[in-house]
Structure 1
Amino acid sequence: MVQPSSTPPPNSQQTLQFLSFVLSQRGPSSLPYTEDTKWLIRQHILSLVSDYPSLEPKTATFTHNDGRSVNLLQADGTIPMPFQGVTYNIPVIIWLMESYPRYPPAVYVNPTRDMIIKRPHPHVSPSGLVSIPYLHNWIYPSSNLVGLVVNLSSAFSLDPPLYSQRRPNPNPTPSPSINCGHHPPPPQGPRVAHSAAGPYPPSPYGRVQPPQQSQARPTSTDDAAEAYKLNAMDKLAEMVHGNIIGMRKAREVEMEGLFSAQAVLRRREEEINKGLKEMQDEKEALEQQLQFVLMNTDVLDSWIRDNEGKTKNLGKNNVNVEDTIYCVDVLSKQMLECTAADLAIEDAVYSLDKAVQNGAVSFDQYLRNVRLLSREQFFHRATAAKVKGAQMQAQVANMAARISHFVS
């Protein structure tokens, strides 16, 4: 452990420029983070450096269990740890794995030459790999680097992971103890995730538990098999995700086609309903006309039956012409009389016109007679109009009675 240093924090503008540069690179030298998470990664690192200036963002080569090497972002430096009233600085390296921020980073304690890792430690393995509940319970997107450092500082303050070892004389046996003196800062270059105590490679899922003394240490073959298993699971998950996306797009296209067909069917349904309504209206109109035709046919049949016997006497001399046509009711007789009088007056006026032209009637006498005839003709026409209105009302009532008779 080292005491807090007085080194001024890095320039935030330079940090922003550095992150913008490395995250915007393309090609073989680009960082393996997805484009939709690079902005969030930059914000997480900026917030971390703002709250903890002792941590510096860098890029370094990280070696996986299967031997793959990849260029990743890391935060290298120290984090504060309060212990027995004194604040110490714990050197750590926080690796942002390819799956960050959806999965937690890999955290390593980075001891200096005169420091050793406490054994056993509940949260730090002999290789320096850190495992705390915050990493196990990492939830995207609420979890972040600032919360991680806060939890690291809290966990380390309960049980410090490092001891400062003083260099002993050749004869006595050295024993580790906590030293509160000043020590040089940890090296700033990238460090490979291995130590002399044995290989404990990092996991991008942050699920590696620290080994206990009672358990046998895993061999490199077991670690490689576990890494291949995790990689196969990742590959399978990516394939399933890709298949789901493809199926979703295909179903969306199919649904669009079905929606279009549904719109066409609805439009045709409206046209069919409209045509059906027009046909029903036409049918009702035809049925009404049929009722009128049947009613008129019944009237004609009745008239023929009533007047059929009169045709037998047409060849005899005793047939009265006045009796061949007669009115069926009082209104018809009154209409006949008014019409006959109107036409007779019309003939009389025509005769007076001829007489005036021929000089048989004087002009004064012509005017006086025309005035009298016109007055009488007006009364006959007015009476005929009233009679006609009464006949129409009677005809409507008769038609209504006949329609009710046919309907019943």
Structure 2
Amino acid sequence: MSQQQYSAYLKSQMQGKYTQLDLAKKDALSLMHHYKDLQPKMDRFIYNDGSTKNLMSLCGTIPVNYKGTTYNIPIAIWLQESHPQLPPLCFVKPTSNMQVKQGKHVDANGRVYLPYLNEWTPHRHTLIGLTQVLVAMFGEEPPVFAKPKNRTPYPTPGYTAQGPPTTNYQPNVMSPYPPAMPSQQPTPYPATNTPGYPGYPPQPGYPPVNTSPYPPQPHQPVVQPMQQKDQSLDENMIKASLRSAANDRLKLRLKETLSQAEAENSQLKQVGSELKGGQERLQTIIKKLQLEIDEADANIIMLEQKNEEAKQEIELTEKKQDDLDVDDIVMATTPVYRQIVTSFAEEQALEDTIYYLGEALRKDVLDVDTFLKHVRSLSRQQFMLRAVIQKARKSAGLANIY
């Protein structure tokens, strides 16, 4: 599936269930972009109290480098409904031929406990940072191992072993998961001071199994005579073992810190890029506003100048009020407009003359022949004036009034 298909699937499944849908979807898409084997799935999650909820899970495998070999560790990351406000729930999901290895960070049910989850902070911790911490931690202490197909039998108590010690069991095909730790079996020899294979002394608060920071190795039984005396552990060997364990824990903690720092640095770079883009947009807006302010200032200056000119014209008009000529006031400034005004005035005068001639005919002041003679002459002049007015208005770009 492509990123667009994943985005559409996440939106359709998480819509109405997750309070911060956009942030949760963005975090999940970013993780699936970096780890292609992880697939989204809406499934039912059962809590410890028996309650269930439909939550979005990201299931699949992540590549883990353990002692120079890459293993695919199956995991499932469940996003809570208020993600990223609450940390996700992380589990190891062993297949049928695998078994969970209980340790410091993984319980018997496969749930993962990490300082990264305990210190989860929204917008600071991400699913990518969590997965990087898981890769670093599983590289030091794999959470699963392959179930053994055959076990080398232990000698029965009361018998003395004959011949050389048995060799390691070597399977025909290399398992894709770290080797299994054989279950604790009774041994015919004392549990302490076994020559050649000294173990770490048990520590309070931890079970006697899996105390080493590295995954357990296949069992390599060694048969010793019953009569052999107990030997004390060499002091230098104990110091070396303690130093190795402390060094491994420090390395694990350092890798967790580095992974978290890298995830935070990547997020800070993204935020910085967004802030830089916002700064550029703000600068563009500020420049446009400054141009508009300059244009407004120029218009204000021009308006003040025009206002001053109008005041001066009003003052001059008031001073010359007594010497004003009415014809000069209504006279147009251009020849075309002047011709329109003059022709219109003459045409209106002819219209009045024809009207009064009609009144004289009605009152029997003029006879019909005289009336028709004058009206014919005046109508011809009025027609010519109207033609001139139409032509002048057309050339001046004015609408026709006839």
TM over 0.5: no
Larger gyration radius, structure 1 or structure 2: 1
Task: Bin the TM-score by the shorter chain.
Answer: 0.3 to 0.5
Give the structure with the larger helix fraction.
1
Greater relative contact order (CA < 8 Å, ≥ 6 in sequence): 1
- TM-score, length of structure 1 as denominator length: 0.38
Give the TM-score of the pair, scaled to structure 2: 0.39
